[in-house]
Structure 1
């Protein structure tokens, strides 16, 4: 896993006593007998012990036994154990008492659910200390108290940035656990971190570091991803990190070209959002989109390609024949490249109804990230547990999302504008959807309106185009897969020819198009600007399949070699 060097850590036994001599003696006896299997942590005040417990919680460690002295100033042993229960409720609790305090210790059994009290002194420990602790550890192991040993994301169900952060980490195959701030676990973690829910999401790393409302660049740094190019000039610049771009980076770098891949968010493109790709050659049982594309990114890096994330290409200035092209990135950064492959992919088309599209001029509230999603979540299908989910679209990506979410959702309803699901979906997927009891398919149906509740999506108005009737339905989550919009607006200045829908023209499709200046015809995947190639979904009339995108990415590199040999 990128950025994850987690090694299983020993559970802790924590002891607290305000008398330094007694504190050292307790820790010594415990370490002598349990030091190889447990971490022995000691504190000399209740406040210091609580701080230590909070830090352990943030790091994802566990505490097996708490041993506290009864008589401590500022915070008694009973008060400490009561507070400690909020942090590690399943840790076994032991109170150290003098003979005169036996009655108080017995009362503590009811106050803090005390597991045992020990009279001081306990010499010899082999008879009076270790048998008690052994029994408590055996009970603790039987129940378990395994805290989350990974990075934690504390967010809110209807906080759009929380969803984006989870997607960023999941699509990079980074291990984490997600919890909502309004749940007891989330509130507990925020309190331990000294934070509140005014700025979400909060990311708490495995090492206990706190990232409050982190940017993509901060997340990339957490994962150990590169965010800035190392060179000013490259042989090949690949723009876009979907399957086509990743394939181009792998073949370019492996064949000796100084290659850089620029991706504005996370590598993987739409394929990276797919819960499972089942018809990709060589994977009998299918492969998760994030797993496939993350492996491809590592493969490209192994061959020496630079993979730069959280950087967006905003402008392309074409060079002359044999001259380098200039790519303007975020801010004022620029890089040069002798050849360029455009693999920017497509975005899902947005529903132009209230709450479902980014229209700065619209007075309607936007529910994107708060019940309305374009594409599907890859972070955890538990996100939709118990929900009524609606999938808009009838292609393979929509079908895979429906199957994935049906594992935990209360119901999944697919809304298809056409007359049958078979028209746009592979038959193997159609068969599975029909056989899944909590998936319903509504054909000739489209969404015409939304309803809100507390600032998030709560319901839909559906139109049956066959009958003209409308119905209102409860909806917790709507995921849309309704066509593609190419990411090509930034190429206008470069003069790259596009079709009427904005997809990039190349090779034979450039016949009779203005702009080609060379005597030779353009290479098959070459755009109207010599030395600039296109691959994947952004190409006009492309197949819109993962395998086709990978093939075009690798083929584009072969044509790049041919172009470079000519200049």
Structure 2
């Protein structure tokens, strides 16, 4: 029996030549029309628009077929962007014999599944066997279901903000319903809840979760919260760029690898609206896209990704290294990689803590961007993360105020970002300035700015304040086990060797390897590593290097 058309998976063909496009669709419909929606587009842009619409409607896409030579956006560029919308769709490139080198290169660039030489006649021999195989792979692949989760809450509730941010950072689509709007009220009634019990999360299966914890959320929306085993070759603690890089390289090189993340993969980089200086992305890439691709890549190689598990202790038990969780569970391995990154420092000004989640946000809080339309928005910080947030929010906000304690942005921000900010009319940079107070009623309404060059203070209206004020490693769970510097960053390799002496308790005949901590078999990578570069590329590189050193240790 054929599947009803509204639920049929789609096969989409993209070709700027109408004759070729019609021929492809004709052959596809003849074979697959009963069970699949056969769609065509005549440009990459047109096809991406159709894919976005299908994404919003939760309609699955099974196969994408794109011609290599198209004006404006060639087939490789189209398939690369389509991956972010429908990562599980199988990808095929149509190419002429002269372009086979480009097709072969695309296998690595966009994880291409197949390329077809034109013409493909007869389709029974050259087209259908390829599509049959790809559809079989697509049907059997483990895919994350598309959830239409509903979140009902107060727009000024800190926990409602945290729930939305949790879902967004884990790439889980949801719809937001303010509790004071009619549809929000109807959903609360259906769930048997009231405004005082918000936030309420209603899953696609119809389960109502009242004030859920992150763990309860994860369990009910399809995230993995339990490891499949008790012992691994490598435990990666932290899911930022360093941790994801290690998970990809560890799993791809045969190590039984598990990554444990407290909240969401991507770390601080995953919250960046646009990273433009990362190698291989000349047009930039959002932190969430980069994190999602890395997560899919790690899973593809067999790494396990466990979320909402908070590591609170590290133990050394003979040759085993054990991490303990806040809920009492534990996990053991031959080696451990510490890649927990850093958290933003808390702002000391009076009133700021009181309004956290109610107008004050640490980091970019991408879920709040839509609420900033036509508002005066304030951002505190002078590093790249603050600059990226300013550029992003300037698209909708009436004006973005970048508050910097230093006398210029050049001291701490990349040159390309300084130039971008200088060219955006609605971004105002306040140097030698800091926030010294915040107040309001039920949410943030005003902040107090102090000009440090003159000592004058000014109270200004503000409903959104985003804070990027430096970072601190959260490494208290390593107390008494792994050596750290005075600020809490983890020491490794040469930094452990004082006057040529090995660290206390080191029993191996060799000195610590470059990223190895004071405990043999325990490594560190990324921002939590003392004296690290604090850049995405260097974090990924350290994650990859750590895996090489893990192999040496195991050997």
Instruction: Please report the TM-score for the alignment, with normalisation by the length of structure 1.
Output: 0.70
* Corresponding residue number in structure 2 for 1:182: 180
The answer to whether the 8 Å contact 2:226/2:306 transfers is yes
Distance 1:410 1:189 in 2: 33
Decide whether the 8 Å contact of 1:315 with 1:493 is kept in 2. no
- Report the CA distance between 1:373 and its aligned residue: 1.0
Structure 2 CA distance for partners of 1:355 and 1:60, relative to 1, 3 Å? farther
- In structure 2, which of residues 132, 148, 171 is the aligned counterpart of residue 173 of structure 1? 171
Compute the displacement of 1:468 (Å). Answer: 0.8
- Which of 306, 328, 348 is equivalent to 2:344? 348
428 and 328 in structure 1: CA distance in 2 versus 1, 3 angstrom threshold: same
Provide closer, same or farther for how the CA distance between residues 277 and 484 of structure 1 changes in structure 2, counting only shifts above 3 A.
Answer: same
After TM superposition, give the deviation of residue 242 of structure 1 in Å: 0.6
2:493 aligned partner: 507
For residues 13-24 of structure 1, what are the structure 2 equivalents within 5 Å? none
Q: Is the 8 A contact 1:375 1:480 kept in 2?
A: yes
Shift of residue 526, structure 1, vs aligned partner: 0.4
The answer to whether the aligner puts 1:427 opposite 2:415 as a matched pair is yes
In 2, Cα distance between equivalents of 1:302 and 1:168: 23
- Specify the alignment match of 1:438 in structure 2: 426
Q: Is the contact between residue 159 and residue 370 of structure 1 (CA under 8 Å) also seen in structure 2? A: yes
Show CA shifts across 1:462-505 (max 9, x none): 111101111111110111111110011100132x1111111001
Cα deviation for residue 207 of structure 1 reads 4.1
In 1, Cα distance between equivalents of 2:207 and 2:480:
43
SS of alignment partner, residue 398 of structure 1 = helix
Question: Which segment is superposed worse, 503-512 or 402-411?
Answer: 402-411
Residue of structure 2 equivalent to 1:450: 438
Stretches of structure 1 that go unaligned for 5 or more consecutive residues are 1-6, 11-58, 62-148, 358-365
Does structure 2 conserve the Cα–Cα contact (< 8 Å) formed by 1:504 and 1:538? yes
Residue 368 (structure 1) aligned with residue 356 (structure 2): yes
Aligned-partner Cα distance in 2 for 1:60–1:247:
30
- Report the counterpart of residue 462 of structure 2 in structure 1: 475
Shift of 1:276: 1.5
Q: For 2:250, what is the secondary structure of its paired residue?
A: helix
Is structure 2 residue 340 aligned with structure 1 residue 338? no
Quote the residue 2:323 is aligned against.
327
Structure 2 counterpart SS, 1:391: strand
The SS at the match of 2:310 is coil
- 1:421-480 CA-to-partner distances (Å, cap 9, x unmatched) read 1221112211221222221110000111111222x2211111111011111111101111
DSSP 3-state at the match of 2:311: coil
Mapped to 2, the partners of 1:440 and 1:189 lie a distance apart of: 41
1:318 offset after TM fit, Å? 1.9
Aligned-pair CA distance for 1:515: 4.2
1:65-94 CA distance string (max 9 Å, x none): xxxxxxxxxxxxxxxxxxxxxxxxxxxxxx
In 2, the alpha carbon distance for the partners of 1:208 and 1:317 equals: 41
SS of 1:423's partner is coil
For residues 206 and 302 of structure 1, what CA distance do their matches in structure 2 show?
Answer: 26
Give the structure-2-normalised TM-score: 0.71
Alpha-carbon RMSD: 2.3
State the match for 2:406 in structure 1.
418
* Superposed CA offset, 1:484-538 (max 9, x none): 10011100132x1111111001111111154433321110000011110000000
Match for residue 530 of structure 1? Answer: 520
Are residues 1:396 and 2:384 paired?
yes
Q: 1:415 to 1:504 in 2, by over 3 A?
A: same
8 Å Cα contact 2:342/2:527 also seen in 1: yes
Quote how far apart the aligned CAs of 1:189 are. 3.5
Structure 1 residue 191: deviation in Å?
3.9
1:27 matched to which residue of 2?
Answer: none
